[in-house]
Amino acid sequence: MKPIFLDYGENLPEIAAREISSCANPQNALLVFPNKRPGYFAAKYLSEKKGPIISPKIFSQDEFIDELFSNLKDKTIKVKRFYDPDLAAVLMFDLKKEFHSFLNKKEGEAENPFLLAWAMRMISAFEECKIASVEPKRLRKFDFLSSPDKSADSLNKKFERFSDLYEKFYFLCADKGFYTRAMKYSCLAERSKDCAEYCLSFEKAVFGGFFVLNKSEKIILQEIAENGNSLFIYGDSPLLEGKSVHDRPKKELKREKPKIKFVKCLSRQHEVFELKKELGCSDGASKKSFGQDNAVIIPESSYLPPALEIVFPNISEFNISAGYSLKMTPIYGLFLALENLFGSLNAQKEFSARSYFSFAFHPYIKNFKANKGKENAEKTRMAFQNLRDYAAKEKISFISLKELSDLGGSEVKEINESLIAPFLNSSSLGEFCEAAEDFIDSISFYSTGNLHPYWNYFPSIMKEKAQEIKNSLLSKVSFKNTKEYVSFFNSYCSASAYPFSGSPVRGLQGLGFLESRNLKFEKIYFLGFCENIFPSVKKEDEILPYEARLELGLSTYKEKSEIYSYYFERLIYSSKEAVFFYTQDDESGLSPFGEKLKWDYEKEKIKYEERFSLSPVSFAPYKIKPVKKTDKMKDFLKSQIYSYSSLDAYLSCGLKFYYSKVLRLGEEDELMSEREPKEIGEALHKILEKFFFMKGFESPYKEKIIIMEKALKEVSDKILKDKETNGISYMEYFQIRKRCFDFLNFHEKDRSKFKILEGEKEIHFEINVKGHVFKLKSRLDRIDDRDGEIVVCDYKTGGLDFKKYIPKASVEKDGLPEIFQGNKNKIGSLQLPVYCMAAETIYKSKEINASIITLGLPQIKEDLLFKKEDNRPAKLKIYKEAVSLALDEIVGCDSFNPAEDEKECEYCPFARFCNIYNS
Ligand code: SF4
């Protein structure tokens, strides 16, 4: 039959359905598209045309190949079920000698993870060659096909060649009945007549939207086109030339330019908020309805979680077919935490405390109900919290599982024994996978994990993956340590994704770019239209470099680029309106496809809209829920010792205070954060303390240099010795050294006359607020006597502006009552007022001041709380009142409330606890 070439704007699934409906017996027709989605739309159009009928056979290309393969009359082909690890086992065990030789390794020399990683890479290269029907003898010419050791490539030994491994690998796979996808294609290409014969059994066979074919596909489709009672429908484009089984007609293509708009944003989340605006959704309003001719294109999976949180809840009916990547789920995050945990084991079989607590405070672990689910999760949280407090206090860096169990009590012991220890006892991949399955089951039964909305899908996927490995020929493979098992398992699971359910033909469609192939939409919203995201075309890998691909007829990055161009043009020029969202930052800007679109419009003097959205991201839609304070919690809060940092956290956001100071999640930072700025800060503090209290400190400058050297040496020697565990690096040492001498010069300038009274002084004091006595503490870096005035100095080693650490002018201007009515962020920091209050308790009759000395800025500076012109008593009174009001509210108010200023949320470390990004 004569092929049909569609103009832009013509609807391929609809026309395919029209062709089928013209059959006398439409159910005896065949319909094949390269991907699944057009089939759903074609079925819908068909039922609209013909009413309820038995559907014709509708396949995606891969389903069609499976169907043809299972219908082959060749009874000599035996097919067995297998998984990817089985294929790796063929290379690692059956072709052990040849595989090692290719890798230029002696048998037993290479570790299993190395072999496994190479086996996976080789198999994917083999599959590319096989699907393109590349003969082994053709590969022999390509000695440059890469092996890990380049010297091996030039050798003439037979088995060092990729081609020999390739030939033997497929021979063995066929022998075992492991028919891979590429083997099926290649086998069918050899029996293309059978494929055409299969199509002849239908009244009509329609093939829609095929573009760029590999060699096997070309042979099969060519045969079907010539002898298979078939009709081919193409979306026409100049790019189709030479890329299909038919020649395209020499005709002018009609191309009406849609209305387009570019929205430049500051971040990915920002793009999603802008999408919401463009869709006209707003919170509190009723859900918006869209027809299936509206699509949101989601070219990268990282856009899906914010889109699911921010946009789709406002839509009455939608379908998301872009798969949700397993990598973005909490259960995968938990396995990454396990990998990190086992990776931290030292020679004494101790875990790093940082990795252990990062695992323990994963939501699924800290909410584990001990005693087979009979205990409350609260007990587990408390147990881990106490254990972490203890570890932080004792500065424990490494600790054994037994010590953790002994210190942590029954809940911690149960978790250690039932969730961690079984992995340590695994001696093969199969055993590891069994432990992984039990681990997922335990979390499912005894943790709150199963309350997570996507719990059901993703742990099941991970269990399925564990079963695939366990039941494969790799099951008996051993690795050197537990971390290697988890790493392999995580990387094996990492490519999995789960599509959300929903009607594929109703409501707003959320599609990955390639899923939108061959579909037509009236209005398109394109997220992630950025140069580092779209088009997603990677350069060739090192096993099959560009030159080899050209010679062998394999697809190259240029061809992949053409595929993107073709489907992008068809998608956009078939629509009436398209809005593109992209992030402009240091790493990326508008996609090259966007630049080209603009150029095309400009050439024809057609206007397009462009806007740069600078408006801050609004998190309001989340309606972040406050956390209720129970009476028990209020009693607990009354008994606490407060520092300025608790007050500052509370003023910026009640929930932040709750997470960091009540649940102590913030202490993760102290114990677990990478050391760089903190270690440097601590070392600097210690050196300066030593310096000021060393004998001879008040000597002339030249001698002070010697004293500073001495202080530096004493402190850094000790820290550097600790380098292997938690010490500083030599690089950091030199940074510290430079800062110390900068400080000496700064101090020498006009401060050398000051009398240094105290260093690193901790002061505990109390204040009475409405009858309740609150305990407070402050740790003061230095206390000076400056001509009778007491000045408390605080060193800041970060590079931040010191203004961040002092109260804002608005405290006096706006008045506290107004500020405490929902504007607490206007106070700024209460650090220095609290320090003054602490110092007052010792230096009772003296004038007190406080200052910040910024050691982290290029130029060391000091800023005082009270300036000469200030009415000091009046100011201090206001600050003290602010401290009292904050304390009163902490224990008095009935809930911990979200930030009063949304800007606080933007970089908040607790954003995920507030479910801002659904992470
Ligand atoms: S995300 Fe916002 S509301 Fe939640 S803790 Fe952080 S600042 Fe507070």
Q: Measure 607 CA to ligand 1 centroid, in angstroms.
A: 42
- Look at residue 697 in the predicted model and tell me its pLDDT: 66
Six-digit token string for 902: 């949304």
> Does the beta carbon of 665 lie inside 6 Å of ligand 1?
no
pLDDT of residue 855 exceeding 60: yes
- Look at residue 725 in the predicted model and tell me its pLDDT: 37
Q: Which of 148-157, 242-251, 566-575, 739-748 has the highest mean pLDDT?
A: 566-575
Residues 6+ apart with CB under 8 A from 313: none
- Gap between the Cα atoms of 19 and 233, Å rounded: 10
Protein residue closest via CA to atom 5 of ligand 1: 656
Report pLDDT digits (tens) over 438-489: 999 999 889 876 666 666 678 889 999 999 999 999 999 999 999 999 999 9
> Does the beta carbon of 916 lie inside 6 Å of ligand 1?
yes
DSSP state, residue 661: I
The atom number, within ligand 1, closest to the CA of 914 reads 4
154-168, 208-222, 474-488, 587-601 — which is least confidently predicted? 154-168
At 800, the pLDDT band (50, 70, 90 cuts) reads low
Q: Please name which of 789, 797, 692 lies closest in space to residue 738, comparing C-alpha atoms.
A: 797
Report pLDDT digits (tens) over 862-887: 889 998 888 888 899 999 999 999 99
At 142, the pLDDT band (50, 70, 90 cuts) reads low
- Residues of the chain with pLDDT > 90, as a percent, come to 49
pLDDT of residue 613 exceeding 80: no
At the top level of CATH, the class of 4-75+186-240 is alpha beta
Higher pLDDT, 538 or 44: 44
The atom number, within ligand 1, closest to the CA of 624 reads 3
Radius of gyration of the chain (CA): 34
Instruction: Report the CATH architecture of 259-323+508-612.
Output: 3-Layer(aba) Sandwich (3.40)
For the chain, give every domain's residue range. Answer: 4-75+186-240, 84-178, 259-323+508-612, 327-498, 627-906
- Look at residue 156 in the predicted model and tell me its pLDDT: 45
**Do 4-75+186-240 and 259-323+508-612 have matching folds?**
yes
> Which residue among 309, 652, 655, 657 is best mutated to probe the pocket of ligand 1, counting the most ligand atoms within 8 A of its Cβ?
655
- Gap between the Cα atoms of 686 and 237, Å rounded: 71
> Which residue among 656, 895, 901 is best mutated to probe the pocket of ligand 1, counting the most ligand atoms within 8 A of its Cβ?
656
- Look at residue 319 in the predicted model and tell me its pLDDT: 87
Q: Which of 459-468, 550-559, 671-680, 821-830 has the highest mean pLDDT?
A: 459-468
> Does the beta carbon of 899 lie inside 6 Å of ligand 1?
yes
> Does the beta carbon of 911 lie inside 6 Å of ligand 1?
yes
Six-digit token string for 790: 């007491």
Q: Measure 47 CA to ligand 1 centroid, in angstroms.
A: 50
Residues 6+ apart with CB under 8 A from 538: 557
Six-digit token string for 110: 């290479």
Protein residue closest via CA to atom 1 of ligand 1: 911
55-64, 135-144, 561-570, 722-731 — which is least confidently predicted? 722-731
Asked if CATH classification 3.90.320 holds for the domain at 627-906, the reply, yes or no, is: yes
Task: Quickly count: other Cβ atoms within 10 Å of residue 24's Cβ.
Answer: 8
Q: Measure 631 CA to ligand 1 centroid, in angstroms.
A: 23
The atom number, within ligand 1, closest to the CA of 656 reads 5
- Look at residue 674 in the predicted model and tell me its pLDDT: 33
Higher pLDDT, 701 or 276: 276
> Which residue among 622, 665, 900, 905 is best mutated to probe the pocket of ligand 1, counting the most ligand atoms within 8 A of its Cβ?
905
- Gap between the Cα atoms of 311 and 582, Å rounded: 17
